Structures are given as structure tokens and as C-alpha cells.
Structure 1
Amino acid sequence: MNTDIIQGKWKQIKGRAREAWGALTDDELDRTEGDREQLVGLVQERYGKAREEAEREVDEFLSKFN
């Protein structure tokens, strides 16, 4: 997964992230700036998921944009 591409396109991708994880706010998504680790942490925290599960979800989501 190319994180530079994800971070470069984050403003475009952010809307889809809101659809995938509706509990995350625009401000929270803005702060991640497309950083995978920060996004994983947010998903884990907001949805009470195990780290591995949150990583899998985020990786599946981000793989659509490579």
C-alpha cells in the first residue's frame, strides 16, 4: 500500500471514509491526513474493536485506492 498516494488524495478519499465509519467526524479524519496508523487508532477507539480487526478494516478500505 503506497501511503504517499493515500495521503496525497486524502481530501478525496475522506468522504468515503465517512461513509465507511460514520462515527468518525470530519475533524478527526482531517487530523489523520490519511495516516494509516492514526486511522486504525480512531476506528479502534470509536468502535471498540481489537487492534487487528481495526487494521484489517482500514487495510481493506485503503486497498481500494491504490
Structure 2
Amino acid sequence: MNKDTVDGNLKQVKGSVKEALGKVTGNTRLEVEGATEKVAGKAQEAVGDTKDAAKKAADKLRD
């Protein structure tokens, strides 16, 4: 697990909270902002997962 994976997960959690708060309060802007942040977090997590997979593959080739 690398920094991108961790940061991506944190963004997803933060986005989920914002989205839920937006729904509860009827604040559409906050709801959309939260949903957008969740998507950005998923993308960042995917980048981190790809980096981890590439590192594992490179390590395997070295052995």
C-alpha cells in the first residue's frame, strides 16, 4: 500500500461524508462535491494500486 492508495481511500471517505451531509441538509452543491470527491479518490486509489502492481512485477522479475 502506498501514499496514493491511502490518500485515495481518505478522499473517498471524506467524499462520502460530504455527500451524506449534503443529502441530509438538502444542500445539492455539497452532495455533488462529495460525489465528485469520491470519484477522485477512487481514481487516486487505482493509481496507487497500479503502482503497487508494477512494483511487485518488477520485484518478481529481479528475483
Q: Is TM > 0.5 for Structure 1 vs Structure 2?
A: no
User: TM-score if structure 1 supplies the norm length?
Assistant: 0.32
User: TM-score if structure 2 supplies the norm length?
Assistant: 0.34
- The structure with higher relative contact order (CA 8 Å, sep 6+) is 2
Structure number having the greater helix percentage: 2
